[in-house]
């Protein structure tokens, strides 16, 4: 089974702080994704990566950056946290077989920015 872990389940930060969310997968998957989940909006893609050191912007990249130095690890960085970044953050991976690839999700990090 694919295992996707996220560094924190709950996080409370102050406005202006730099925030790091980490995601680690153990299945040697090529692709990794960061989403945020908000009620009524579903999941929105922030960034994704299809290889080490490669990254692509998703639909809502503003205020975020990412890092993928190793294949198994994909970090999401909030450069200067703001209250409108309070959300549930979900990491996902997929094998890289583009046809109908299934995504595997971590448990999520619920971030509160005060």
Partner 1 sequence: AQSVAQPEDQVNVAEGNPLTVKCTYSVSGNPYLFWYVQYPNRGLQFLLKYITGDNLVKGSYGFEAEFNKSQTSFHLKKPSALVSDSALYFCAVRDERGFKTIFGAGTRLFVKA
* Residues from 33 through 72 that contact partner 1 (CB under 8 A): 35, 40-45, 48, 50, 56, 58-59
Which of 82, 87, 94 lies closest to 32, judged by CA? 94
Per-residue DSSP letter, 59: S
Q: Does 95 bind partner 1 (CB under 8 A)?
A: no
Identify which of residues 71 and 105 has a Cβ nearer to partner 1 in the complex.
Answer: 105
Please identify, among the stretches 13-21, 61-69, 71-79, 103-111, the one whose residues bind partner 1 according to the rule CB under 8 A: 103-111
- Cβ pair 78, 89 in contact under 8 A: no
- Cβ pair 73, 43 in contact under 8 A: no
Would you state the structure tokens that stand for residue 82, as one six-digit string?
Answer: 């703001």
Instruction: Name the residues that contact partner 1, by CB under 8 A.
Output: 4, 9, 35, 40-45, 48, 50, 56, 58-59, 90, 92, 98-100, 102-108
């Amino acid at each position: 089974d694919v295992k996707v872990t996220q560094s924190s389940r709950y996080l409370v930060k102050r406005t202006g702080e730099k925030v790091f969310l980490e995601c680690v997968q153990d299945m040697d998957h090529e692709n990794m994704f960061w989403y945020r989940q908000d009620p009524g909006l579903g999941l929105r893609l922030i960034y994704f990566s299809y290889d080490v050191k490669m990254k692509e912007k998703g639909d809502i990249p503003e205020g975020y950056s990412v890092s993928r130095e190793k294949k198994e690890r994909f970090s999401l960085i909030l450069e200067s946290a703001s209250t409108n970044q309070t959300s549930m953050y979900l990491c996902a991976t997929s094998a890289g077989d583009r046809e109908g690839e299934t995504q595997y999700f971590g448990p999520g990090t619920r971030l509160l920015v005060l």
